[in-house]
């Protein structure tokens, strides 16, 4: 149903001249290929993936073409936990990660013997950038009585300093488990997810004050107004959003969990507070439902309030084809970090298995 696709035009700064800190990322967003070129690129990528024994692992926030291509070629599109697990289980010699750098690094840490490629190595994450190891290590040193739990959206060095790594889909069960054991927690870097987990678990948590530039922009007052205009809508919120937004949610969860909620709920309307890249999968799986973007700063918004991650936007068909052809953009993680950084990641994957948390989420549309 065409009228269900509401697209809002935002202005993205396309040069590094503006004061916006993400202008550099938007400037690297690959151009949209023409239809004929697109078909040729897709065919070329399919051939290259086979030739190079490579599997494409995409996140729900990247361009729809890369999401569809991952599924069409035996890879996956999913959330961070599923991406890590899938790449680890898959026999391919090369993992191509369409997402942001911490996702590529996690794949490399889990599979040091494999080649991990990314369309653009400068695809960052504000949470990772906001938690440099030089500041994080002394913070941990100052609180030796606390178990260090870090979000996946961190560097290899920060993971190597942690006891546990978690993603949004498993953060709450892990912290509940530690709390039941009487453990006090040092949490980094996302303050909103940390606050949500603390509220839900009652655990003693000391929070690093990082945030996601995309989710930080969802606005509570405007959401309230939108809900009033759409009383039948179910509100789906990613837990990187501010507390006042999360408090209005019907479902709080990882990207995969939010998509499952959209599939399973009887509602016909949804308000979605997470990167709008997710709407592609929601609309594909539920063509008879209406998905609305939760309000950010509204129309005419700037680079940090458009509901789309500028670093996820750096992934496209053009640079994916190029990276497969040239073998450039390989992820390297300092080998000194790998043996230590793999421990908190494996601890999470083992725990997910132990509690039967499904790591394979949605499946092909």
CA atoms of 254 and 269, how far apart (whole Å):
19
DSSP for 96-108, written as a single string: EEES-HHHHHHHH
Tell me whether residue 201 or residue 274 sits nearer to ligand 13P (CB atom). 274
Closest to ligand 13P by CB, 65 vs 79, is 79
Q: Quick check: 311 binds ligand SF4 (CB under 6 A)?
A: yes
Residue 58 binds ligand 13P (CB under 6 A): no
213 binds ligand SF4 (CB under 6 A): yes
Q: How far is CA 17 from CA 13, 20, 22, 231, 314, in A?
A: 9, 8, 11, 43, 18
**DSSP code of residue 363:** -
| Locus of tokens 């003693």 | 204
Q: In whole angstroms, what is the distance from residue 296 CA to residue 294 CA?
A: 7
Determine if 212 is a binding residue for ligand 13P (CB under 6 A).
yes
168 binds, among ligand 13P, ligand SF4, none (CB under 5 to 8 A by kind): ligand 13P
Nearer to ligand SF4, 41 or 312 (CB): 312
Q: For helices 338-354 and 171-180, what crossing angle results, to 10°? A: 90
Please write down the long-range contacts of 21-24, taking CB distance under 8 Å and 24 or more positions apart: 21/304, 22/213, 22/303, 22/304, 22/310, 22/311, 23/303, 24/122
User: Where in 276-305 is the site for ligand SF4 (CB under 6 A)?
Assistant: none
User: Residue 332: helix, strand or coil by DSSP?
Assistant: coil
Bridge partner residues of 236 (DSSP): 251, 272
Q: Is 66 in the site for ligand SF4 (CB under 6 A)?
A: no
Q: Using CB under 6 A, pick the residue from 205, 273, 303, 312 that binds ligand SF4.
A: 312
CB of 199 to ligand SF4, least distance (A): 20
Is there binding between residue 168 and ligand 13P (CB under 6 A)? Answer: yes
Nearer to ligand 13P, 81 or 321 (CB): 81
User: Beta strands 184-188 and 164-166: pairing type?
Assistant: unpaired
Q: Which of 55, 100, 156, 323 binds ligand SF4 (CB under 6 A)?
A: 100
Among 85, 153, 256, 329, binds ligand SF4 (CB under 6 A): 153
Phi, psi of 46 (to 5 degrees): -60, -45
With CB cut-offs between 5 and 8 Å by kind, which of ligand SF4, ligand 13P, none does residue 312 bind? ligand SF4
Question: Which of residues 68, 79, 105, 120 is near ligand 13P by CB under 6 A?
Answer: 79
Partner touching 241 among ligand SF4, ligand 13P, none, CB below 5 to 8 Å by kind: none
Burial classification of residue 255, based on how many CB atoms lie within 10 Å of its CB (0-12 exposed, 13-18 middle, 19 or more buried): buried
Residue 186's CB is within 10 A of a number of other CB atoms, namely 24
* Closer residue to ligand 13P (CB): 153 or 296: 153
Q: Which of 111, 155, 255, 307 binds ligand 13P (CB under 6 A)?
A: 255
Name the binder of 254 from ligand SF4, ligand 13P, none, CB < 5-8 A by kind.
ligand 13P
Q: Which residues contact 300 (CB under 8 A, 6 or more apart)?
A: 10, 11
Binding partner of residue 301 among ligand SF4, ligand 13P, none, CB cut-off 5 to 8 Å per kind? none
Interacting residues toward ligand SF4 by CB under 6 A:
100, 125-127, 153, 212-214, 240, 275, 309, 311-312
Interacting residues toward ligand 13P by CB under 6 A:
79-80, 153, 167-168, 212, 240, 254-255
């Amino acid at each position: 149903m065409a009228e269900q696709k509401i697209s809002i035009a935002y202005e993205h700064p396309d040069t590094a001249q503006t004061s916006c800190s993400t202008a550099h990322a938007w400037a690297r967003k690959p151009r949209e290929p023409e239809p004929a070129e697109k078909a040729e690129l897709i065919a070329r990528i399919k051939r290259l993936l086979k030739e190079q024994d490579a599997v494409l692992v995409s996140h729900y926030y990247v361009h729809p073409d890369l999401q569809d291509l991952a599924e069409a070629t035996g890879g996956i599109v999913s959330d961070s936990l599923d991406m890590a697990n899938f790449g680890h289980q898959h026999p391919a010699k090369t993992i191509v990660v369409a997402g942001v750098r911490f996702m590529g690094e996690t794949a490399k840490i889990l599979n040091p013997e494999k080649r991990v490629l990314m369309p653009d190595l400068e695809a960052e994450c504000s949470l990772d950038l906001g938690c440099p190891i030089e500041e994080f290590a002394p913070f941990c040193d100052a609180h030796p009585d606390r178990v260090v739990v870090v979000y996946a959206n961190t560097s290899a060095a920060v993971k190597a300093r942690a006891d546990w790594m978690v993603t949004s889909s498993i953060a709450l069960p892990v912290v509940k488990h530690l709390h039941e054991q009487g453990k006090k927690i040092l949490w980094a870097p996302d303050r909103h997810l940390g606050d949500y987990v603390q509220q839900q678990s009652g655990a003693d948590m000391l929070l690093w004050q990082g945030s996601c530039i995309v989710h930080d922009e969802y606005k509570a007052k405007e959401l309230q107004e939108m809900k009033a205009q759409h009383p039948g809508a179910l509100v789906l919120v990613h837990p990187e959003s501010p507390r006042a937004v999360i408090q209005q949610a019907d479902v709080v969860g990882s990207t995969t969990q939010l998509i499952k909620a959209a599939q399973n709920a009887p509602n016909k309307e949804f308000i979605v507070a997470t990167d709008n890249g997710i709407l592609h999968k929601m609309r594909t799986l539920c063509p008879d439902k209406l998905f609305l973007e939760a309000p950010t700063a509204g129309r005419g918004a700037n680079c940090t309030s458009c509901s789309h991650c500028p670093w996820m936007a750096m992934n496209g068909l053009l640079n994916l084809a190029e990276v497969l052809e040239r073998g450039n953009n390989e992820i390297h993680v300092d080998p000194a970090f790998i043996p230590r950084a793999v421990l908190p990641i494996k601890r999470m994957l083992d725990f997910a298995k132990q509690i039967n948390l499904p790591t394979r989420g949605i499946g092909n549309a």
